[in-house]
Amino acid sequence: MIIGLDVGGTKALGLLVDPADGTIHGRQKSSSAGDGPTLVRTLATMVNELRSDHAITGIGLGIAGLIDRSGTVRYSPNLADLVEFPVTAELTAAIGHRVVATNDATAGTWAEAKLGAGRGCRDFVYVALGTGIGAGFVINGELVLGSNGFAGEVGHMVIEANGPAHITGQQGPWEYYASGNALGRLARDAAAAGAFPAVVQRVDSIDSVTGYHVVELMRSGDSDALSIFDGFCKEVALGTSNLVISLDFGRVVIGGGLADIGEPLRAGVEYWLGELLLGREHRPEPEVVLAELGSDAAALGAAYYAIT
Neighbours of 10 (CB within 10 A): 10
Find the binding residues for a copy of itself in span 239-268 (CB under 8 A).
241-243, 245-251
Which of 61, 238, 290, 298 binds a copy of itself (CB under 8 A)? It is 238
Q: Least distance (Å) from a copy of itself to the CB of residue 152?
A: 7
Contact range with a copy of itself by CB under 8 A, out of 141-149, 178-186, 263-271, 297-305: 141-149
Contact range with a copy of itself by CB under 8 A, out of 90-98, 110-118, 234-242, 258-266: 234-242
The 3-state DSSP class for residue 134 equals strand
Dihedral sign for Cα 155, 160, 162, 166, please. negative
Q: Does 158 bind a copy of itself (CB under 8 A)?
A: yes
Q: Does 92 bind a copy of itself (CB under 8 A)?
A: no
Q: Does 160 bind a copy of itself (CB under 8 A)?
A: yes
Q: In which order are the strands placed within the sheet that holds 124-129?
A: 142-143, 133-139, 124-129, 251-255, 287-290
Going by C-beta distance under 8 Å and a sequence separation of 6 or more, which residues neighbour residue 139? 122, 123, 247
Spatial separation of the C-alpha atoms in residues 292 and 82, rounded to whole Å: 29
Contact range with a copy of itself by CB under 8 A, out of 11-19, 21-29, 50-58, 147-155: 147-155
Contact present, 15 and 56 (Cβ < 8 Å): no
**Residue 279 buriedness (CB in 10 A; 0-12 / 13-18 / 19+):** exposed
Count of residues that bind a copy of itself according to CB under 8 A: 53
Which parts of this chain interact with a copy of itself (CB under 8 A)?
66, 74-75, 121-123, 135, 137, 139-140, 142, 144-154, 156-163, 168-170, 172-173, 238, 241-243, 245-251, 276, 278-279, 282-284, 286
